[in-house]
């Protein structure tokens, strides 16, 4: 059977194929609505000043929540994610290096060059200096 016959076949992708998925979605939504209604009906309804107060890990809040925080924490986290994800791209090359041959080797060298260029840039910008 070629691709055109599969595309023109009226039974492929009919609505009856999606019926079990529809039933599962209806049951999931019904379960969620039922659990929310039951918790609203049977749950405690005592509203005290202590319960209506903001909770922050058991520590009483004081001061302004918008106090400045060092951007270095966020920068290091973003750089970690960036370089961690870049290293993940080495896995397909490691698995298929024989099939990729010299062209694959050239592409991985180009990738490492971009990787090192970015790393040198952030080091020169002082993104990893914590003495500030």
CA 27 to chain CA centroid, Å, is 27
- Residue ranges of domains in the chain, CATH in brackets: 15-59+68-124 (1.20.58)
Task: Render pLDDT for 28-67 as a digit per residue (tens, 0 to 9).
Answer: 999 999 999 999 999 887 778 777 776 666 666 676 767 7
Contacts 24+ apart (CB under 8 A), 47-50: none
Distance (Å, whole) CA 78 – CA 127? 11
Distances (CA, A) of 2 to 9, 57, 67: 11, 61, 65
- Tell me the pTM: 0.41
Helices (H), the chain: 3-8, 19-42, 71-88, 90-124
Q: With 60 as the cut, is the pLDDT of residue 11 above it? A: no
Reading the block at residue 125, the tokens are 């910008």
């Amino acid at each position: 059977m070629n691709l055109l016959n599969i595309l023109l076949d009226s039974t492929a992708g009919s609505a009856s194929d999606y019926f079990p998925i529809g039933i599962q979605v209806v049951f999931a939504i019904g379960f969620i609505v039922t659990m929310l209604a039951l918790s609203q009906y049977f749950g405690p309804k005592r509203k005290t000043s202590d319960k209506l107060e903001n909770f922050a890990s058991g520590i009483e809040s004081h001061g302004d929540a918008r106090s400045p925080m060092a951007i270095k924490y966020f920068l290091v986290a973003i750089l970690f994610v960036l370089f961690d994800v870049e290293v993940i791209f080495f896995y397909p090359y490691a698995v298929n290096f024989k099939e990729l041959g010299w062209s694959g080797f050239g592409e991985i060298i180009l990738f490492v060059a971009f990787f090192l260029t970015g790393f040198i840039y952030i080091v020169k910008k002082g993104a990893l200096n914590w003495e500030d």
